[in-house]
Amino acid sequence: MTNHKLKAGIKRSVGKGDTMALKTDKTEVVELLKALMNIESTSEKELEIGQYLEKYIQSRGFTAERIAIAPGSTRHNVYAYLGQERKARLLVTAHMDTVPPHIPVSIDGDVIRGRGACDDLGPMVAQIFAVEELRAEGKLKEGDVSFLWVVGEEKGGPGMIAANDMGLTWEAGLFAEPTEGKVAKGHKGNLSATLLLFDALNDLREVELPVSDLLGPSTLNIGKIEGGAGYNILAAEAKALCSIRVSKDVEGIKEAVRAAIDKHPDVDVDFKFQYTEMLLEWGFEGFEAEPMAYGTDIPRLRGDHRKVLYGPGSIQVAHGTDEYILISGLMESIEKNKVLILGLLK
Ligand SMILES: [Zn+2]
């Protein structure tokens, strides 16, 4: 049954030259995106869309796991892979949650409107069909690729943070967000970044730092704050350089700092002397590259995997009332995702 279903949407067609290309039927792409967008999946209400995705990907012949992000939590990530091997070389990942309010899906010609169209369900669907086409073309085998769909990217990233506890590592991660079809060179803070930063710093000041009998209390210093361009312009990015004189328990302090900052979805913490800076990989032939002015889940998944951020659709409309994606952009993105996936598996 699963094999039969798998083949249903894929038409064989002979492309230019002698290569056999397998093309996904456009209606199938639209149907899946519509079905996902019909489910309200605002942050903290991701159970139903996760159940849908689990069933869907199982019907395509994948092994799927729904994993609670904390013991007893009804918030579940979905992890899927081919066969029995959980460990895969490449992680293909997107987030299931959307920002409120839920906006019902509507289609007008080439335009799909509604919540999640471009952030992040459209980019997720493009990844799914890219993997499916590569699989149908015989270019993927067990252990090459796994999917991870996380909860809560829009609200603190508890899903991706929990993914660190899966006991898995990957050689590379392909992260889906609307990048206008470009490969992201990196990503920065958000609008009014200075205010977001202040909120986070306030929470940071509340963190109780450990006291050592010998050395006394650990102390926080907010040493330098930068950001903004003028008093009447919303700051696009901001950063604070802070130091903590550690009198004991450096790991405990890092955890406490991370917990305080993780409450602020648009602020990332970077332990300068503990980890190297996060760099995205962007030198792919045939792709434009650009820095992205928003935060993602990428820094939340620890590990030294290669990191690529790519997806159809524009962040400009992502959280607005007119969120949309173009069907033509989705279809093109399936092709582009295939190139990235094969490139990362080389
Ligand atoms: Zn997103």
Q: How far is the CA of 154 from the centre of ligand 1 (A)?
A: 7
- Residues within 5 A (CB) of ion ligand 1: 119-120, 177
Which amino acid, residue 18?
Answer: D
For the chain, where are the E strands, in sequence order? Answer: 10-14, 20-24, 63-68, 76-81, 90-95, 106-108, 111-113, 145-150, 172-175, 183-187, 211-212, 216-217, 219-227, 238-245, 289-292, 306-309, 324-326
Sign of CA dihedral 261, 316, 119, 35: positive
CATH number of the 2-189+277-345 domain: 3.40.630.10
Give the start-to-end residue ranges of the domains of the chain. 2-189+277-345, 193-262
Q: Kindly tell me if the per-residue pLDDT of 20 is higher than 80.
A: no
Catalytic residue numbers? Answer: 153
Quote the ligand 1 centre to 63 CA distance (angstroms).
25
Among residues 30, 53, 32, the alpha carbon closest in space to that of 112 is found at: 30
Q: How far apart are CA 104 and CA 116, in angstroms?
A: 10
Q: How far apart are CA 191 and CA 233, in angstroms?
A: 10
Judge whether 2-189+277-345 and 193-262 match in fold. Answer: no
Q: Given this model, what pLDDT does residue 53 score?
A: 98
State the distance from the centre of ligand 1 to the C-alpha of 296, rounded, in angstroms: 7
**Cα–ligand 1 centroid distance for 17 (angstroms):** 38
311-335: pLDDT as tens digits: 999 988 998 999 999 999 999 999 9
pLDDT higher at 122 or 223: 122
Under a CB-based contact definition with an 8 Å cutoff, are residues 185 and 282 in contact?
yes
Tens of pLDDT along 218-271?
778 888 888 876 666 667 777 888 877 776 777 888 888 888 888 888 888 877
Cα–Cα dist 197/201, whole Å: 6
Domain 193-262 fold: Alpha-Beta Plaits (3.30.70)
Is 21 in contact with 11 (CB distance < 8 Å)?
no
* Ligand 1: centre distance to CA 121 (Å): 9
Percent of the chain topping pLDDT 90? 57
- For 91, the token pair is 């992680």
DSSP one-letter code for 169: -
pLDDT given for residue 4 in this prediction: 38
